[in-house]
Homo-oligomer: A and B are copies of this chain.
């Protein structure tokens, strides 16, 4: 496989105005196809710089993917830079121009002369129409480097992401006759640090150098994918064996495990979706009572469309008065045990079950910091309760890290406890 090199064009990244998302998007999708990004550069939006960077990289025989710099403004000179470096001139594409005229007419806007550049395409190569914006994706085929392609994609993620997945990636797969995608098993962990997962998996994979591992880490959530090329003898069985061994002892932390062995495999779900599916199947509904997480868990649950089937809502009882008045936590409990206590979160779940009329309740109360800690209740100490009318479980954790980390871990731990209860009571 030709090495793939990514070139991000944009002064906005180098000035700190925006944070790049494309490297991670493309890298993950390529990994799922058994391909890799060999390197990545961020450069300024200048024709000379685009041209020089491309010349250097073309000589190395790489597939070059460029993002950004295809807008209509005079600052965006990417396409001229690519034309110069590849020796592939641009031409007007009437079909693109017509589409542009129609698009602007519909929107009641006037085309400016600079929009003309957005109907230019390479004379050798192809282009991808943009269904979410005006700049098409461009593919240049430099005659001096017949193995290379330069693929230029628009910068805004909502234009790039669909164009990349639906047009550019399929183009690369067919042009370079990439082999079948590797078989993959994805395991999603909650409340388990990456280092513990790594410790467990390294020895398992030591005997299987043919299996590749990649991970995606979002604080208290870690996704691990193991992959093996489809034509390896017993590929599916080998992957299943490694997944089985990985899961031993970790069952309570892996909320999703999905095989991608061919078309028709189901999409991996997030923890909130797994919980929603379990609740939906039982016809039961959830409500939350949050103190230190301040609405984070409710926000997560409602990040997913369709959550209204299973989520009634929540009470953010940040102040103790609301724990008492809206959730019915007894004043005596608050006075004797304090807001961060087993008795309080227990009463918070009881209260939210009753007042929201929910089947399941989750409650969190802790010291998120950086202020508010005491020797008995230090920053990071969090009580969590989960339960239904039959039984409420409580647990206390001391989370390290800053306010954001404490809140994130609290939310993930609470949802993991709920998921386990739903699984165990099936």
Interface positions of A (Cβ within 8 A of B):
12-21, 23-28, 31, 36-44, 158, 214-217, 285, 287-288, 290, 292-299, 301-303, 305-308, 311-319, 321-322, 325-326, 355-357, 368-372, 401-404
Contact = CB atoms under 8 A, between A and B. Distances in A.
Contacts of A357: 321, 325
Contact of A307 (B214, B308, B318, B369): B318
Contacts of A312: 318-319, 321-322
Contacts of A315: 313-316, 326
B356 A322 contact: yes
A212 to B, nearest CB: 9
Nearest to A21: B19
Nearest to A213: B15
A39 B145 CA distance: 26
B42 A39 contact: yes
A296 B299 contact: yes
Contact of A27 (B15, B24, B28): B15
Given A43-B39, A216-B17, A298 B313 contact: no
Contact of A319 (B23, B215, B313): B313
A16 B316 contact: no
Given A13-B23, A23-B42, A356-B322, A302 B308 contact: no
A64 to B, nearest CB: 14
A36 B43 CA distance: 12
B39 A39 contact: no
A194 B44 CA distance: 20
B15 A36 contact: yes
A217 B15 CA distance: 12
Nearest to A49: B39
Given A16-B31, A311-B319, A313-B319, 12 more contacts: A16-B24, A16-B25, A16-B26, A285-B319, A287-B322, A295-B316, A298-B318, A303-B404, A305-B370, A308-B319, A312-B319, A321-B356
B40 A14 contact: yes
Contacts of A308: 318-319, 372
Contacts of A18: 24, 216-217
B40 A16 contact: no
A40 B14 CA distance: 8
Contacts of A288: 316
B39 A40 contact: no
Nearest to A294: B302
B15 A214 contact: yes
Interface centre among A296, A306, A318 (most CB of B within 10 A): A318
A22 B215 CA distance: 20
A355 B321 CA distance: 11
A24 B19 contact: yes
Contacts of A298: 290, 294-295, 298, 316, 318
A16 B317 CA distance: 38
A76 to B, nearest CB: 14
Contact of A16 (B214, B314, B355): B214
Given A23-B16, A215-B17, A302 B318 contact: yes
Contact of A41 (B41, B158, B293): B41
Contacts of A319: 285, 308, 311-313
Contacts of A42: 23, 39-41
A319 to B, nearest CB: 4
A41 B40 contact: yes
B305 A371 contact: yes
B302 A314 contact: no
Closest 10 CB pairs of A and B: A294-B302, A295-B295, A295-B298, A16-B27, A16-B28, A40-B42, A295-B299, A313-B318, A314-B316, A313-B322
A293 B42 CA distance: 35
B301 A326 contact: no
Interface centre among A40, A311, A404 (most CB of B within 10 A): A40
A301 to B, nearest CB: 7
A399 to B, nearest CB: 14
